[in-house]
Chain A
Amino acid sequence: MNMPITPQKPAKKLSLKDNYNLLTRGLGWETSYQDMDKVFAQDKFEGIKIHDWDKWEDPFRLTMDAYWKYQGEKEKKLYAIVDAFQQNNGQFNVTDARYINTLKLFLTGVSPLEYQAHRGFAMVGRNFRGTSARIAAQMQAIDELRHAQTQAHTISHYNKFFSGLHDPTHMFDRVWYLSVPKSYFEDAMSAGPFEFITAISFSFEYVLTNLLFMPFMSGAAYNGDMATVTFGFSAQSDESRHMTLGLEVVKFILEQDPDNVPIVQKWLDKWFWRGYRLLTLVSMMMDYMLPKKVMSWAEAWEMYFEQNGGALFNDLARYGIRMPKYHEVASKEKHRLSHEAWATFYNFSHAAAFHTWVPEESEMKWLAEKYPTTFDSLYRPRFEHWREQQQKGERFSNGTLPMLCQVCQVPMFFTEPDDPTKICYRETTYRDEKFHFCSDGCKDIFGNEPEKYVQAWLPVHQIYQGNCFRPGTDPTAPGFEPLAEVLQYYGFHVGEDGGEYLGSLDARNWTQWTGKPAVAE
Chain B
Amino acid sequence: MSVIALKPGYTGEMKDRVENFHGKQLLYIGWEDHLMYCAPMCIPIEGATPFGALIQAVIPSLYPAHPDTAKIDWNTVEWFRSGERFTPDPQQTLIANGLGHKANLRFRTPGLTGLKGSCS
Contact = CB atoms under 8 A, between A and B. Distances in A.
Nearest to A385: B115
Nearest to B24: A464
Given A385-B120, A396-B65, A433-B101, A464 B28 contact: no
Given A455-B15, A457-B15, A464 B39 contact: no
A436 B16 contact: no
B15 A456 contact: yes
B21 A465 contact: yes
Interface string A36-47: 000001100111
A174 to B, nearest CB: 16
Interface residues of A, number: 58
Interface string B1-43: 0111110001111111100111010101010110111111111
B119 interface: yes
A385 B14 contact: no
Interface in B35-66: 35-44, 62, 64-65
B23 to A, nearest CB: 12
Contacts of B102: 433-436
Contacts of B40: 402-403, 412, 423, 425
Given A423-B35, A425-B83, A458-B15, A404 B3 contact: no
Contacts of B37: 347, 398, 400
Nearest to A47: B4
Given A433-B16, A434-B102, A456-B15, A42 B4 contact: no
B36 A340 contact: no
Nearest to A421: B119
A162 interface: no
Contact of B104 (A340, A436, A457): A436
Contacts of A401: 41-43
Nearest to A191: B4
Given A436-B102, A449-B4, A347 B14 contact: no
B116 interface: yes
B91 interface: no
The A interface is mostly helix, strand or loop, or mixed, namely mixed
A76 interface: no
Contacts of A347: 37-39
A307 interface: no
Interface string A417-438: 0000111010100010111100
A411 interface: yes
Contacts of A457: 15
Given A382-B36, A454-B15, A465 B20 contact: yes
Contacts of B92: none
Nearest to B37: A398
A464 B3 contact: no
A452 interface: yes
A346 to B, nearest CB: 8
B118 interface: yes
A244 to B, nearest CB: 27
Interface of A: 41-42, 45-47, 191-192, 195, 340, 343-344, 347, 377-382, 385, 389, 394, 396, 398-404, 411-413, 415, 421-423, 425, 427, 431, 433-436, 449-458, 460-461, 464-466
Interface of B: 2-6, 10-17, 20-22, 24, 26, 28, 30, 32-33, 35-44, 62, 64-65, 82-83, 100-104, 106, 114-116, 118-120
24 contacts: A343-B35, A343-B36, A378-B118, A379-B120, A381-B114, A381-B120, A398-B38, A402-B42, A404-B42, A415-B35, A421-B33, A422-B32, A423-B40, A425-B30, A433-B14, A434-B82, A436-B102, A449-B2, A451-B2, A452-B3, A454-B12, A454-B15, A461-B16, A466-B22
